[in-house]
Amino acid sequence: MIFLNLLLIHMLNAAAEKTALDGYCDAASETCNNEITPNEDHKLIFYDVNPPEGFNLRRDVYMRFAIMLAEAQKRGKTDWRLVLTPWNKLYHWKNNDKPVPWRSFFDVESLKSYAPVLELSEVVDESAKPIDIDTLYVLQNFDNPFENGVFEEKWQLVPKEECDKNYDNISAKEVICVRFQGKISKLWELINLHPNDKKVMFMHGEIPLHDNYGTKAYWDCRKSMKFNKTLVKKAKKFIKEKLGCDEEKCNNYIAIHWRRLDFATSRPNDVPSIDGTVKQIKDAFEKMPGIKKIFISTDASASEVKILKSKLKEAGFKVYVYDPSASDLEKYNDGGIAIIDQIICSHAAHFIGTHESTFTFRIQEEREILGFDSSTTFNRLCPDVGACDPPSIWKIIN
Spatial contact of 334 and 325, defined as CB atoms under 8 Å apart: no
d(CA 176, CA 203): 10
Please, which residues have CB within 8 angstroms of residue 359's CB and are 6 or more apart in sequence? 54, 56, 257, 259, 297, 338, 342, 353
d(CA 219, CA 213): 9
Spatial contact of 152 and 167, defined as CB atoms under 8 Å apart: no
Separation in Å, CA 259 to CA 184, 198, 255, 267: 30, 42, 13, 10
Q: Where are the alpha helices (DSSP H) in 41-141?
A: 55-74, 108-114, 120-123
**Cα–chain-centroid distance for residue 219?**
15
Element (H, E) at 284: helix 274-286
Q: Is position 241 annotated as part of the catalytic site?
A: no
Element (H, E) at 219: helix 216-224
Contacts 24+ apart (CB under 8 A), 239-242: 239/344, 239/347, 242/320
Of 165, 197, 169, 204, nearest to 9 (Cα)? Answer: 169
d(CA 198, CA 176): 16
Write the DSSP assignment of 289-350 as a string of letters.
TT--EEEEEE---HHHHHHHHHHHHHTT-EEE-----HHHHHHHHHHHHHHHHHHHHHTSSE
CA 223-227-231 angle, 5° bins: 155
Catalytic residue, candidates 17, 30, 35, 53: 53
User: What phi and psi values does residue 235 have, to the nearest 5 degrees?
Assistant: -65, -45
Spatial contact of 351 and 367, defined as CB atoms under 8 Å apart: yes
d(CA 5, CA 260): 31
Catalytic residues: 53
